[in-house]
Amino acid sequence: MSTNVDICPKERDLRIRTPSDLGALIRDRRTKLDLDQKALADMIGVSRQWLVAVEKGKPRAEIGLVLRALAALGISLDTDVTSKSKPNTGPAPVDIDSIVAAARGKRP
């Protein structure tokens, strides 16, 4: 069973940075859809206690079940790459020959 309800543009711009943020989103959407925790838990196929823990920001909640909860609430996830620079892979390689040549007064 899938519930596809339009989300207003303001809600689409939410930044989820922590498990607590994700739990708050789930709780907020559930209440806006007038679902109690038991009803949503039944839709997802989990216990009410699991849903309570997720809404409180459980950091080790199973991702598959969280995605199932989001789908049941009509929430989709989109990606947004915030940095266009290369990831930091450590220090640049050292050219030891240039260092030795410079110390001897020679040009590389």
73 found inside a domain? yes
Which pLDDT score is estimated for 96? 77
Task: Report yes or no on 103 lying in a domain.
Answer: no
Q: CA-to-CA distance for 70 and 86, rounded, in angstroms?
A: 31
pLDDT at 12 over 70: no
pTM of this structure:
0.65
With respect to residue 75, please indicate whether it lies within any of the assigned structural domains.
yes
In a domain, 6, yes or no: yes
pLDDT tens-digit map of 52-101:
999 999 999 999 999 999 999 999 988 877 766 666 666 777 777 777 77
Q: How is residue 90 annotated by DSSP?
A: S
Residue 30: give its domain's CATH number: 1.10.260.40
Residue 9 located in a structural domain: yes
Distance, in Å, from the CA atom of 45 to the CA atom of 42, rounded to the nearest integer, reads: 5
In a domain, 99, yes or no: no
**Is 25 inside a domain boundary?**
yes
Number of domains in the chain: 1
Range of the domain at 24: 1-80
Which residue carries 């990831």 as its tokens? 87
At 88, list the tokens: 């930091």
Cα–Cα separations (whole angstroms), residue 47 to 2, 94, 101: 19, 56, 70
